[in-house]
Amino acid sequence: MERCFAKLLYKHLLIWIDDLLLYAEDVDTYLEKLGELFSLMNEFGLKLSAAKSSLFQRSVKWCGKIIDGDGVRHDPQRIAALREMPLPSTAGDLQQFLCACNWMRDSLISYAGHVQTLQKRLDVTLGNGKRTKRAANKLPVTFTDTEKAAFEQVKDCLASAAMLAHPSPDGVLSVFTDASDTAWSVIVMDVEKWQSDKPVADQTHRLLHCLSGTFSG
């Protein structure tokens, strides 16, 4: 798919397996790129599902995210479903919860620190055995009071998921990093209108991406 649509990819088109998201800054450009998309589909013998396609949308739900002119945010219904999950009873349930949360980590500040306690519990429960969902579903999991509190803390963290802005082609990119003995984090932001008379901290930053992790070994 990526090879077929290389001409449009990441400029006016995103692809997730066989789902396509065409985007543009204005209607005229959108129509132009839509024509190019149809031409490429005809060239490679591809077809769209009319029932699953929509055109000229100002806001779309795609891959569990809401995307519009303001930015990208996670689907509130998806967040609500995760926050309503009860305490996992098996390693499989915990594994599924963590996988779903990991999908949102690019908009969660200091995510790795919040989830570290639960990840350790999962690793201990799985041990050296198989990490497949089928195997994990057969393993009961128990939590200490600290781990129960960590589970609730992660769910609260999901509620504060930030909207990610669309990068400004003329903006000033800022990368902030931090690390301790146990964890690290990277935050990527941009400033649309840089004011030379103000220090970095006083600029109007927009969040583009964040990433965090923990050290092991």
Instruction: Quick: pLDDT tens for 87-129.
Output: 999 999 999 999 999 999 999 988 998 899 999 999 999 988 8
Q: Quick one: pLDDT at residue 24?
A: 94
Note the pTM of the prediction, 2 decimals.
0.82
Is pLDDT above 70 for 217?
Answer: no
Alpha-carbon dihedral sign for residues 212, 163, 15, 40: negative
Query: Average of pLDDT values for 193-211?
Result: 94
Q: Cα(194)–Cα(208) distance, rounded to whole angstroms?
A: 16
The 10s digit of each residue's pLDDT in 150-174 is 999 999 999 999 999 999 989 999 9
